Structure 1
């Protein structure tokens, strides 16, 4: 894929990611960003998905209605978001056939759930270490426990987004395959 097409895809997916995050700002931990990062990596490679992850958090984490993330937290958010890019890229690289119909949707939902759990664990550990007082182990455990409700919302919403929205987007891009050179295994 040529550079201008790759940059255009990164810009498009990042813009949609950030715009939908702002639209869903009133619903904590429910967002389409995760699915779009996965989609970018699954269809166009890790470079696209990883770039969407980093750029989406750079914008949304800096210009956020709840306040800007600290530089350290911003790096953790961007790095954790690449979990979705790794999953999308990995499914593509390993040529994992995820079936069709409902089985494909359930596999994608499970992948979204697992990625969200990894993301939430990393970000909650960071939060415990850097934002709470007391012995480090207590801070981490406290943060993980206090984060359970938010993590569950995030994990369930990602399961649903990956099960219901991501397959539709994969199919839509696959229909445009000759124009954007989609090579996703999840689209089959």
Structure 2
């Protein structure tokens, strides 16, 4: 099965509007779920944004969402250096969405059940990647060392330990992402395919209303 081509936007305003919509959706659901640590719809939305609209949408959505939420956070603003690790961690969902779209990883599954399971596992392992990266970043600021190698190793060990101790927040994150990816993502992708926003023509998959000039 050949690689799936990137979508084409009819105009810049279509792309800007989609980025703004996903960013607003992410922030709204983040604030709504503040009382449930590590339970986030936005991880699934990152995947959906990239899977359907490409890296040029997924990456800006990550940067805008994570930076805004890290600065204006009900639990306290994140340190500047940690925002970098948070953005890189969230980019795991962009990467998984891009690879799934480009290499048709989900579409290779023959049955609907297998596709749902595959998407759920993609969410789980993306969450694991996020947790490892961000906990490592936190460890860099918490753990000392006599040299660079010992500092990096200490930060990694700190991240692995604190990921699920004293509270199993890593497990909560990975389990909730498996649930949201296996339910929210397939239904959202099906809804987008029927919405008329994405059309298929001689140039491939086109984003935007018919009749608009393509840029």
User: Normalising by structure 1, what TM-score?
Assistant: 0.91
The answer for the alignment partner of 2:128 in structure 1 is 117
* 1:113/1:158 contact within 8 Å kept: yes
1:132 to partner: Cα distance: 3.4
The answer for the alignment partner of 1:107 in structure 2 is 118
Tell whether 2:185 aligns with 1:169. Answer: no
Change over 3 Å in CA distance of 1:20–1:95 after alignment to 2: same
Task: Write the distance in 1 (CA, Å) between the matches of 2:52 and 2:37.
Answer: 28
The answer for the alignment partner of 1:60 in structure 2 is 69
Task: Write the distance in 2 (CA, Å) between the matches of 1:57 and 1:106.
Answer: 27
Higher strand share: 2
User: Where do residues 76-115 of structure 1 align in structure 2 (5 Å cutoff)?
Assistant: 76-96=85-105, 97-99=107-109, 100-115=111-126
Tell whether 2:178 aligns with 1:159. Answer: yes
Task: Write the distance in 2 (CA, Å) between the matches of 1:69 and 1:121.
Answer: 17
Task: Write the distance in 1 (CA, Å) between the matches of 2:131 and 2:83.
Answer: 14
Task: Write the distance in 2 (CA, Å) between the matches of 1:160 and 1:110.
Answer: 9
Higher helix share: 1
SS of the residue 1:65 aligns to: coil
The answer for the alignment partner of 2:53 in structure 1 is 44
The answer for the alignment partner of 2:82 in structure 1 is 73
User: Where do residues 123-162 of structure 1 align in structure 2 (5 Å cutoff)?
Assistant: 123-133=134-144, 136=151, 137-148=153-164, 149-162=168-181
1:181 to partner: Cα distance: 3.8
SS of the residue 1:64 aligns to: coil
Task: Write the distance in 2 (CA, Å) between the matches of 1:181 and 1:9.
Answer: 15
5+ long unaligned stretches in structure 1: 184-188
The structure having more radius of gyration, on CA atoms, is 2
Identify the structure with bigger relative contact order (alpha carbons < 8 Å, sequence gap 6+).
Answer: 2
The answer for the alignment partner of 1:186 in structure 2 is none
Change over 3 Å in CA distance of 1:157–1:98 after alignment to 2: farther
Aligned length: 182
CA-to-aligned-CA distance 1:67-93 (integer Å, 9 cap, x gap): 111111011101111110111111111
SS of the residue 1:29 aligns to: coil
CA-to-aligned-CA distance 1:126-170 (integer Å, 9 cap, x gap): 111113345623343133212121111111110001001111111
